[in-house]
């Protein structure tokens, strides 16, 4: 399979604090890769470097072999990389529908049209509906997002990310703060994502990690401690020591 | 995501597209109850059209002024209400439009509407592009201060550049415009009113298209969560600048009408209090609703007229009314209306 994402010696320092100390990682197209590690291991910083929210101190990010290091988020989004945020980052005063529709009209290149009504863009509206139906948010389409449950808001994060029809999807703790029932439903939903989509997922829920991931990378103090199949990682003595707590 | 890459043209086809999954009747959320019917607009336009044939004189003068300031307030609404940019210097564009028109008419003898429209739109687009380019790099109170400073620069120029602007005495002698055809002059109040109505109505039409378009929706998204918009691939700065320039140009057109309306311009038209007045009109009417600021302008001017004929201390009462409005009426006159109609079901 083709390599879709490659990180070479990726490092990030905040003044004297080395949050990431040279990460090397290779992700194949269609892979489900989980990134786990204790709090402060640098997982979210790693996502921020990949998606362009932060500039790396050194190292390179390659998507499908192209160097995209330090490109701003809007260019990464356009290049087929979209992400969700650990903390819900939504349009809380707008409807569920409008949240996804805004992402969809940008992805399909209609956002700057200024004379025709948004209602006349049937392609945008049809695909917005498809995504909302798939993520079980269609029933909430006319509700203002601040009135959704926390779990529904987490799902909406994923819906917005999917609206860009990405090749590579970064999910930052999609089940954080969810009830067990919501978590189970979200795992199911994520498992049903199209096979050709590559997913990087930061997650603390080990059930979610072991049921979704093809491979797992373990981060600890800004370094890759282990990288392999779920079974390899589970048996790794270093991982057991620092993380799984066996 | 298994989406077929369809061509842009396919998206715009009217009516249901054949291959798409069956579109259920509710497939466009909010369509039923949020699609504001155009009928009220048509009724309002007809009423405004008939008005000068029913009565002229003072009421018509007031209505003309309401339309001029309604346009001014709408233009600020694009910047403030839709895009969320706190401009406190919108009188700059109004003043550029008014002074530009006055200089053309009183100094150069050019009162052709077509020429002055082109000149004013050109002037305000350039001014708004320059100011906007600087101002959108800031946010919040810094944006506010930059726009205020710019409008005070225009005010200083109006005040000090006496040979061109007449200085603090203002510039009299602005003649009513000739229309696009030479010889046709909107001289009498009724003809001039109809001209103002035509400019107002076409501006309203264009701005209404703008704010219901994908572009206008993007502006609302920027107002609500700029960071998210950027992460979704939007070039936020370009959108902000475009909105600022559009607002500035329509503000200039309002100033143009005002100069013709008053036959006179003075530095007070560009003073920061003029920016404050239009800001109040937008907030009282309901920011981000387009029609609200027009109602706000009407409310402001009618109240001002009524109170000033009753007492010399009218600014105190006016001020108290505005304090009450800003504190207790959240979304302005339009907000009251939507709450009342929601309660009636």
3-state secondary structure B314-344: HHHHHHHHHHHHHHHCCCHHHHHHHHHHHHC
Instruction: Choose the weakest-confidence range: A67-81, B86-100, B148-162.
Output: A67-81
> Min CA distance, A243 vs chain B (Å)?
32
Bigger pLDDT: B43 vs A205: B43
Tell me, what's the pLDDT at A205?
Answer: 83
What does A137-154 look like in DSSP terms, one character per residue? Answer: -GGGTTSBGGGS-HHHHH
Domain over A3-244 is classified CATH 3.40.50.150: no
Shortest CB distance from B235 goes to which of A74, A83, A129? Answer: A74
Mean pLDDT of B155-172: 91
Pairing mode, strands A198-202 and A168-172: parallel
Question: A13 vs chain B: nearest CA distance in angstroms?
Answer: 23
Angle at A87 between CA A243 and CA A3, to 5 degrees: 65
What residues of A are in contact with residue B224 (Cβ under 8 Å)? 91-94
Q: B118: number of CA atoms within 13 Å, CB side? A: 6
pLDDT, tens digit only, all 246 positions of chain A: 588 999 999 999 888 888 888 889 999 999 999 999 888 888 899 999 998 888 999 999 999 888 999 888 878 887 889 888 888 899 999 999 999 999 999 888 888 888 888 888 888 999 999 999 988 899 999 999 999 988 889 889 999 999 988 999 999 998 888 888 888 888 888 888 888 899 999 988 888 888 889 999 998 888 888 898 988 888 888 888 876 664
pLDDT at residue B24 tops 50: no
Residues of A with Cβ-Cβ distance to B20 under 8 angstroms = 122, 126
- Alpha carbon A117 to chain centroid distance? 32
| Mean pLDDT, rounded, for B72-101 | 96
Chain A, 29 to 88: residues with Cβ < 8 Å from chain B are 51, 53, 72-75, 77-78, 83
Judged by CB atoms closer than 8 Å, whether chains meet at B1 and A123 is answered as: no
Which pLDDT score is estimated for B183? 65
In this prediction, residue A70 carries a pLDDT of: 86
Contact residues of B toward A, CB < 8 A: 1-3, 6, 8, 10-14, 16-17, 20-21, 23, 27-31, 35, 209-210, 212-218, 220-221, 224-225, 227-235, 239
> HSE (CB half, 13 Å, CA atoms) of A107?
28
Q: What is the mean pLDDT of residues B177-195?
A: 81
Interface contact flag, A73 B230, Cβ < 8 Å: yes
- Reference A92, options B225, B229, B222; nearest CA is B225
How close A123 comes to chain B (CA, Å)? 4
Chain A stretch 183-242, residues whose beta carbon is closer than 8 A to a beta carbon of chain B: 194, 197
- In the structure, what pLDDT confidence band is assigned to residue B336 with cuts at 50, 70 and 90? confident
Under 8 Å CB pairs connecting chains A and B tally to 136
- Which residues in B lie closer than 8 A to residue A116 (C-beta atoms)? 12, 209, 213-214
Structure confidence at residue B150 as a pLDDT band (50, 70, 90) = very high
Q: What is the pLDDT of residue B27?
A: 44
Q: Which residue has the tokens 């003649």?
A: B175
For residue B56, name the pLDDT band (cuts at 50, 70, 90). Answer: confident
* Over residues B239-255, mean pLDDT: 97
Residue B174 CB partners (closer than 8 Å, separation 6+): B101, B102, B105, B106, B111, B259, B260, B262, B263, B264, B265
pLDDT for the residue numbered B35: 53
For the residues B279-287, what does the mean pLDDT come to?
93
Q: Predicted ipTM?
A: 0.82
Instruction: Calculate the alpha carbon distances from A67 to A70, A77, B219 in Å.
Output: 9, 15, 32
Q: Which residue from B179, B169, B222, B221 is spatially nearest to B199, judged by alpha carbons?
A: B179
Max alpha carbon distance in chain B (Å)?
71
Minimal C-alpha gap between B146 and chain A (Å): 27
Q: Are A29 and A196 in contact (CB under 8 A)?
A: yes
pLDDT at A115: 85
Residues of A within 8 A of B235 (CB-CB) are 74
- Rounded to a whole number of angstroms, the distance from the CA of A112 to the nearest CA of chain B is 5
Residue A140 near residue A96 (C-beta atoms within 8 A) = yes
| Residue of B12, B213, B224 with shortest CB distance to A93 | B224
Of A4-8, B20-24, B76-80, where does mean pLDDT reach its minimum?
B20-24
Q: What is the pLDDT of residue A120?
A: 86
Residues of chain A with Cβ-Cβ distance to B230 below 8 Å are: 72-74
Q: Which two tokens stand for residue B344?
A: 């009636």
């Amino acid at each position: 399979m083709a390599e879709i994402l490659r990180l070479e010696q990726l490092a990030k320092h905040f003044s004297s604090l080395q949050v990431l100390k040279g990460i090397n990682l290779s992700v194949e197209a269609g892979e489900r890769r989980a990134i786990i590690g204790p709090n402060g291991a640098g997982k979210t910083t790693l996502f921020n470097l990949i998606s362009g929210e932060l500039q790396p101190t050194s190292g390179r990010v390659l998507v499908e072999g192209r160097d995209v290091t330090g490109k701003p988020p809007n260019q990464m989004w356009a290049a087929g990389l979209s992400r969700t945020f650990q903390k819900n980052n939504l349009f809380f005063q707008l409807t569920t529908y409008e949240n996804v529709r805004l992402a969809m009209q940008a992805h399909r290149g209609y956002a700057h049209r200024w004379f025709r009504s948004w209602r006349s863009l049937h392609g945008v509206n049809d695909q917005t509906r498809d995504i909302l139906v798939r993520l079980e948010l269609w029933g909430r389409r006319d509700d203002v997002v601040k009135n959704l449950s926390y779990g529904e808001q987490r799902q909406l994060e994923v819906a917005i990310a999917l609206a860009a029809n990405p090749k590579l999807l970064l999910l930052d703790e999609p089940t954080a703060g969810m009830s067990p029932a919501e978590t189970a439903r979200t795992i199911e939903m994520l498992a049903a994502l199209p096979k050709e989509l590559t997913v990087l997922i930061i997650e603390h829920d080990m059930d979610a990690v072991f049921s979704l991931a093809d491979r797992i990378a373990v981060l600890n103090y800004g370094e890759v401690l282990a990288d392999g199949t779920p079974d390899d990682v589970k048996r790794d003595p270093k991982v057991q020591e620092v993380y799984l707590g066996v | 995501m298994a989406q077929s890459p369809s061509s842009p043209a396919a998206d715009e086809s009217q009516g249901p597209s054949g291959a798409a999954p069956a579109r259920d009747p509710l497939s466009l959320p909010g369509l039923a109850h949020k699609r504001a019917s155009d009928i009220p607009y048509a009724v309002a336009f007809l009423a405004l059209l008939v008005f000068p044939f029913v009565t002229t004189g003072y009421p018509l003068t007031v209505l003309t002024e309401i339309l001029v300031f309604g346009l001014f307030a709408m233009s600020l609404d694009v910047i403030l209400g839709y895009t969320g940019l706190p401009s406190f210097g919108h009188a700059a564009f109004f003043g550029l439009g008014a002074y530009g028109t006055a200089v053309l008419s009183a100094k150069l003898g050019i009162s052709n509407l077509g020429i002055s429209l082109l000149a004013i739109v050109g002037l305000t687009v350039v001014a708004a592009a320059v100011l906007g380019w600087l101002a959108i790099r800031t946010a919040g109170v810094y944006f506010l201060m930059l726009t205020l400073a710019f409008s005070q620069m225009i005010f200083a120029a109006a005040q000090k550049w006496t040979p061109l602007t007449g200085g603090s005495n203002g510039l009299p002698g602005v003649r009513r415009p000739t229309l696009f055809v030479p010889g046709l002059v909107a001289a009498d109040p009724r003809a001039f009113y109809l001209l103002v109505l035509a400019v107002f109505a076409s501006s309203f039409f264009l701005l209404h298209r703008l704010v219901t378009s994908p572009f206008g929706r993007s502006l609302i998204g920027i107002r609500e969560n700029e960071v998210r918009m950027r992460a979704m691939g939007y070039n936020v700065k370009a959108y902000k600048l475009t909105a600022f320039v559009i607002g500035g140009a329509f503000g200039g057109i309002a100033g143009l009408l005002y100069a013709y309306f008053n036959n006179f311009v003075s530095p007070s038209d560009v003073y920061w209090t003029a920016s404050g007045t239009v800001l109040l009109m937008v907030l009282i009417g309901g920011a981000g609703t387009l029609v609200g600021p027009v109602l706000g302008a009407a409310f402001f001017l009618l109240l001002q007229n009524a109170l000033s004929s009753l007492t010399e201390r009218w600014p105190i009462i006016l001020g108290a009314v505005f304090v009450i409005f800003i504190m207790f009426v959240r979304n302005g006159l339009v907000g009251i209306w939507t709450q009342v109609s929601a309660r009636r079901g």
